[in-house]
Every structure is written in C-alpha cells, then in structure tokens.
Amino acid sequence: MSETKKAVFGGGCFWCIEPVFSRVKGVNAVEPGYTGGHVKNPSYQEVCMGNTGHAEVIKIEFDPQVVSYSKLLEIFFSVHDPTTLNRQGADIGDQYRSAIFYEDEKQKKEVEDFVKVLEEKKVFKKPIVTKIERLTDYYSAEDYHRQYYDNNPGLPYCQFIITPKIKKLSNNFGDILK
C-alpha cells in the first residue's frame, strides 16, 4: 500500500467541491474545514461573518499511486472559477476565495507550474486569482457540513449549484470516477 498524501483546496463553499472530489478514484477521504485565518478553532458562523481570515476548504486524502496531485489540480480548476476574487457565484467574501494550501515546497512548485501553464495557454479569459498559501492551522468543519450534498440532494442549492459541477466532472473525468 502506498503512502497517502493530502491536498487542501478552497473553491468557494465547501459544500460545492466536497462531493466532486469524493467521487474520484484514489481519493480516500474528503473533509470540509477552515484554514488560512487568524482565529483559533473558528466556527462556521464566525467564518461566514468574514472576520477570521479563514477560507472554506476541503482536505483531500489521496493515494498518489491511483490519482496524481496534478490530476486533482486539473479537476479543481475545472469545477470552480479561479478568476473571481473572493467569490464563487453568489457566495461573496474572502472565506470563499479560490486558494490552494500547499504542504511542502514540492506541492507549491507543482501548483505554481500548473497555474503558469494555464495562464500561458490562456485557458481562462481573465487572469487566475487563486491564492497559493502555505497550509498552517487546519480546523475540521462541524459534522453537519460533511457529505452535505449527498445528504441533501433534493435541496434547490444542491440541485442548481452542485449537481452541475458533478455533471461536469462526469463529462470531463468519467474515466477516473469511482
């Protein structure tokens, strides 16, 4: 069995990206949480107020022998808008920023190189504003945020915002889904 690695991504509301990555082969666990702020053990309410500096993120535990970090980056950049500063759709504030929190210099370089290629190829019409930040303190979100989409698929938010992301994932990455 190979060593498990971690990836931490912020792409707007964590409800929107958790179900995407949980469907990818090689992903062993996806957990919503908070990082990048200055308050210890923040609550969802505190993060939503926008005063803690935290981003809503997901922590992905994955097997690099099955899915590469670069494949996870490819998926990440395909399921959210990395060109809008501090917002994703109707979710506005730095807690919804597009961000990648790297664990080590190898991950940092891989992210920087990946973003550079996207910019050189002009994949997006506007500049990428995804923040690349060192992972510091990470706090797990409250239990009711876990598997929110899978537990509430009929809610309008889930149907109109999250389901299209999962369909996009299926259309673009169907060969690597569980």
Which residue among 13, 16, 48, 158 is the active-site one?
13
The residue behind tokens 């992972």 is: 135
Going by the DSSP 8-state scheme, the letter that residue 174 receives in this structure is G
Contact status, residue 34 vs residue 42, Cβ threshold 8 Å:
yes
Contact status, residue 78 vs residue 172, Cβ threshold 8 Å:
yes
Beta-carbon contacts of residue 174 (< 8 Å; ≥ 6 apart): none
Give the CA distances from residue 74 to residues 69, 70, 81, 115, 118, in Å, rounded to whole numbers and listed in that order. Answer: 9, 6, 12, 10, 10
Contact status, residue 123 vs residue 76, Cβ threshold 8 Å:
no
Does 48 qualify as catalytic in the annotation? Answer: no
**Active site residues per annotation:** 13
